[in-house]
Structure 1
Amino acid sequence: ADDAVQETMVRAWRGLARFEGRSSLRTWLTRIATRVCLDALGSRGRRALPRELGAAGTLESPLESLPASRWIEPIAEAAALPGDADPAEALELRESIRLAFVAALQHLPPRQRAALLLTEVLGWTAAEVAEALDSSVPAINSALQRARQTMASRREQVPAFDDFVATTGTDSLLERYVAAFERHDVDALVGLLCDDVIMSMPPYTLWLRGPATIHDWLHGPGIHCRGSRLLPVAASASPAFAQYRPAPEGGHRAWALIVLELREERIAAWNAFLAVETLFPRFGLDLELPPQK
């Protein structure tokens, strides 16, 4: 993402003399960024979440990892959601950064993905998208139809998660989650989970399903999370927390960025992203916390 931003700025600077002001500067930059991203996507494989790569594992499953370039990662809301967006625009933008939506997008060819995002998230017309992608209106409409069919099919194939809206019920759920996590109260944690809950830990391909398996994991390999601290984070339009595990020398050290997906005020997916050296700086998070006084 950082490389794409830099390349967009370079292309914009080189093309500034050709900017005629027929559209807003924001629209012009978005067109450039879209083309940069299309160029990049053409040479990259599909990113995924662990639950898309194979069957659920067990405590005996080997821990195999994949490079960061293979994984969907959380998105910092501060970078993705402009402060001046109106409520309707903010709602569309929030939907576009949810993990489940980003995962479904990976199943679209790059040009279909761009057409869908520009029309349904940014509100562009088919004519504007056609100009940005050097295409025609009929071709864009056809791409949109195929993209929407694929997205609808993906929604039928994957677990359903609720759009996150802060309510008294969800606030209570998250307060109980944090309290139970920091006490390492496994029984209390498991009591907050859906019957078909999923847990994953990218970059590991292993993922687990069901409260019983997660209960055993937390009492087994997950026992090292005992004594952790959680700090709230604005990530992927979902409940999210920075997890810090106790450090041998005192204080706490960054361990994971946790993104929860909810259903009916229970936890349906527990995603712990472990690439903290790259993720935490994007969210303005420290890698270490001093000892609590």
Structure 2
Amino acid sequence: MNAKDFFGILLMAMFAVVGLTACSDDDEEGRKVTDYKEYVLTVASEKIPGVLWSEGFNYLSEVYAVKQEPSDEWSAFGNIDGFEFEKGYEYQIKIGETSYLDYSMGTPAWTERELLEVISKDKKDSENLPLHLIPKAYYDNIPLPQYRYAVEADNKELIEQDLKDNSLIPLDYHDMLYRGEDATLKWIALQDDNKVFGPYIIQSKSKAPEEMPESYKVLPPDARIVGYGEWTFLDEAENSIDNLSFDVFMGYATQTKDVDRTPSAIYLYKDLTEYYKTKYPEANVETVVISYMLSAESL
């Protein structure tokens, strides 16, 4: 073998080694299974509002309430591949949970769960189910609603006192919006773990700016408005709740600099002029408008 042939073979061998190394590195950098386990869960007969974690942040949603043996406490649980939940039934199921790591992904570590077996399915209402699974640390960070009103009347003080005493929405509850299982917009307000207003379904429709009452101009929202609509609050049977229907302005509060995201505030408006003309005819009411500013942080 001459020197030219020898160096040719050596060069080919070096490229082969580099190629094998590159393939090995690709395997090392791909998706890895970091953990796998199987366990049994009790799944409550209805979904409730709760907080889940995804892609580095917490979000509010309708969740499965589950118990994992030996614990007797309900906790929030997200998607289970292959599990077909039917409201009104309590389940005992076996699932497999796989944890992955892939540094090429936006979120390098994540967990997937899949149904392995339905052990039992009983038609019953689950016992001791909480009203929600929203941690105090989460809802305490949601600002309380900001309540404003404007009154034009001879006896303005009488109307203003009535408005202070009879707010349509509790002013010391944290209002939160979230999406139900079918993407329906829902609303819940919490003062603490046991004092709950709602949850309610929000029936929404769009409105044009010119459809809003002229009276709202006496109490304009302090925001850059980007959307208009109407919200009607419904119970779980989809019956409307007395007095809980509002015109809606969606926008960015004036102090908000980042506008490349979901609007930062939602303004609920209602014209109560006719109501107060009837309630206090001697007050010579001309205009009564109320407004609630809610945080859109939970969306």
TM-score, L = length of structure 1: 0.30
Larger relative strand fraction? 2
Please, what TM-score do these two structures have when normalized by structure 2?
A: 0.30
Higher Rg: 2
Higher helix share: 1
Question: More relative contact order in 1 or in 2 (CA 8 Å, sep 6+)?
Answer: 1
